[in-house]
Structure formats: structure tokens, C-alpha cells
Structure 1
Amino acid sequence: MKQALYFGVLSVLLAGCSQFKANKPQTSQPINLEAHVQTLAEDVQADVPTPAQKFATSNSRNMLLGKWYGIRKTANGGQKEWLTERSADGTYRVDFRFIAKNGDVRSQSEVGFWGVSGGIYFRIFRGWVTVTGMKPADATNADHYDAYAIESLSDSYFTYKHAVRGQRYTVKKMPADFRLPVTVKSDNSEPLTFSY
């Protein structure tokens, strides 16, 4: 079952890579994406994630630091990519890239706090990064607080499931220099750290 899931993720990643070539934006390109996707099948065979219950909270937290890339098709025939960067100080930044079915591309960046407790990964969304600074989110909105069951975690892959909506995500660890391309009206060079 897990192997079928990984091959499903592989096919989505490969489809996403072909779109990068076909719809090459005028902005910076992701670094080394094709090389990482091409080795995904070998990685899955060699690095089956360990069930999350076998990790202490501190181990899981340390493994989740850095950049993690995900991609999935949307219900309307488009594509959504995201790159989450988690820092040791408990902050995160996630850059999204949305590609509509007609080829239109838009980007969005969000920041917040993250953590791990036992087999639960959680995020607290605090705002959006814009070219003029940070736009705070409404802290009273319950939808800005998310909890996920950690299903599997390794040095290369992370699978987690939303505790309420039941959506499952699998992401791949990326090198520190990996970036998503962004559209002209967005900026992903803001510092990751922030304060209130």
C-alpha cells in the first residue's frame, strides 16, 4: 500500500516537472528539481519511512527542520506546489505556487509557528508575506490552527494526515538551496523569522 502511494506521488512529481518545462515562467526556476524527482523511485525503494511512533518528539522535530516539497493536482485540473521551511526557533514559512488549468500562475507565502508533540505535528498560521511586509492573520480564526497525525517520517520523506479533514500529504526533503519559482507580484526573500 505504501509503495503504491509513493509511486503515485512519483507520477504527480513527474507530471509537475513536465509542466515546468512546458510553462517556463520568466522568474527564477527551482534548483535541482528534476534531479531529485528522477531519483525518487530509487529513494522509495532504499528509504522506506519509519513509523512515527518509533521516534521521540525531539528526534521527529529535528528531522522536520529544513525544506520539504510537496505537489498535488487540484480538483479543477490545476496544480498546487508548496515548499515548507521549518526553523529550529519554532517558526515556519511555506511558499505556494498555484498553476491553473489554463496555465495562469500565482504565488503565496505564509508564516507561522510549528511543533511536534508525540505523534502529532501542528501548525499555527500567523500571516502572509507580501512585498510590503507581513499581513497578520486573524488569531481568533479556528481554521488557522492545524494538527496532523505523523504517519511516517524519514530523512527523505514525511507523510502526515490532517486530524479533522483527513487529507494525507507526502513531502520530500530538499536541499537548503532549493526554491520554488515565484510570480512577479510576490516575493519570497523576506526573512523567515518574525515576531509579535
Structure 2
Amino acid sequence: MKKQLGFLLLSTLLAACSQLKTSKPIAPVNLLDTAQVEENLQIEEPDEVQTLASSATREMLLGKWYGIRKLKDGGQKEWLTERSADGTYRVDFRFVSADGSARSQSEVGFWGVSGDIYFRIFRGWVTVEGMKPADPTVAEHYDAYKIDGLDGEYFSYVHKVRGQQYTVKKMPNDFRLPVTVNSQEVEPLTFSY
């Protein structure tokens, strides 16, 4: 019974920690003294985080979004992200070097929105032969971004770790990047789970 009570109090304490005020230092607490635990927690109702609900944000992010960036070596990187309602995404990249040579790469994975955070889980590369899975234990295959701005035409977001800002433009459904492939395959490259 004591173990269950201790576990319950610890669970309550951990759940409440995310709502603690950070301006007051936290004093050591005897977890078995519930009055002391309640006194130190000061749980507050969260302020309204955003005006746009996650479901509305998610709906706005569906479809194709195009971005372009100049590279330090004088080339450029273009990308077209297509987000589907089933939670999957595909990004087609086109890299053009300063000498004009081009190469393409396609990646796939899962995406979502929670509050003002947009996230992606990279699952692999698309090749003419099919999908080449990514190692799910690599931390860099999981990205979170703070949504900076979003309307029906532009989406701006900032990588939570690297601080890199991206701005992309909404494109019509028939828009495609020119793809450089060394094969004559004509079948569309798709992925599914």
C-alpha cells in the first residue's frame, strides 16, 4: 500500500512539474506529506497558447509547399513538401551546384501538429527501386519546429534545436520539382506503411 501511495504521489508531482512557476525555487519536499507537496506546487491554469487550434493548423498544412534556399557554395536547394491527411509526408529535394549540375533526393515519413509545434519523423528515402528505410534510433530523424506564421499562402517555422528558420509557399496540387534520375523508370515513387 505504501508503494502504491508513493507511486501515486510521485506521479502527481511529475505531472504537476510541467505547470510549476519557474520564478520560485523549489524546496525539498517529503513526498509522503501531501500538504507539503500541495503547498510547493502552485498549479496554475495555462494561458491561451495560440488562437488557431491544432486541427485547423493541420488542415492548413495539407498539400504541397515549396521552399528555396541559396547555399554557401553558390548553389541552391529547392524542396517540395507534400503533407497528406493520413499523417504521411514526402519531401522532394533538388540540389543545383554552382556549376549547374543537379541532383534529386526524396524522403518520406510522418508529420503532425501539437499546439504551436510542427513535427516530422523521417522514415526513409524513396528510390527507383522502392523505399530505403532510415534507422529509427537516430535522434536526428525526429524534428520539431515552432510555427512562426501560417496562412493560406505562406508557412514560416523555426527548428527547435538548430534555430534555422524556413519559409515555404503553398503550391497547386499539380506542381512538381524537376527530378534528376539516372533511370528510365516512369512509375511514380510512393511509400506506405
Same fold (TM over 0.5): yes
Using the TM superposition, give the Cα deviation of residue 75 of structure 1 relative to its aligned residue in structure 2, in angstroms.
1.4
Partner of residue 136, structure 1: 133
What does the per-residue CA deviation read over 1:9-45, in whole Å, with 9 as the maximum and x for residues that have no partner?
xxxxxxxxxxxxxxxxxxxxxxxxxxxxxxxxxxxxx
CA–CA separation in structure 2 for the residues paired with 1:69 and 1:161:
16
Alignment of 1:2-151 (within 5 A): 53-151=50-148
Q: How far off is 1:165 after superposition?
A: 0.2
- In the alignment, structure 2 segments of 5+ residues that lack a partner are 1-48
User: Does residue 189 of structure 1 match 2:188?
Assistant: yes
- Pairs aligned (count): 143
- 1:172 pairs, out of 165, 169, 179, with 169
Deviations 1:82-140 (CA, angstroms, capped at 9, x unpaired): 00000000000000000001111000000000000000000000000000000000000
Work out the CA distance in 1 between the residues paired with 2:125 and 2:168. 22
SS in 2 for 1:54: coil
Measured after TM superposition, the shift of residue 73 of structure 1 is: 0.3
> What SS does structure 1 have at the residue aligned with 2:50?
helix
Matched position secondary structure for 2:144? strand
Unmatched tracts of structure 1, length 5 or more: 1-51
Structure with greater helix share of residues: 1
Deviation at 1:185, TM superposition (A): 2.4
CA deviation string 1:46-96 (max 9, x = no partner): xxxxxx932100000000000000000011111000000000000000000
For residue 106 of structure 1, what is the amino acid of its counterpart?
R
Distance 1:179 1:189 in 2: 12
* Aligned residue identity for 2:165: R
Superposed structure 1 runs of 4+ greater than 3 Å apart: none
What amino acid sits opposite 1:80 in the alignment?
A: K
When the two structures are superposed, what TM-score results if normalisation uses the length of structure 2?
A: 0.72
Q: TM (normalized to structure 1)?
A: 0.71
Whole-Å separation in 2 of the counterparts to 1:127 and 1:185: 20
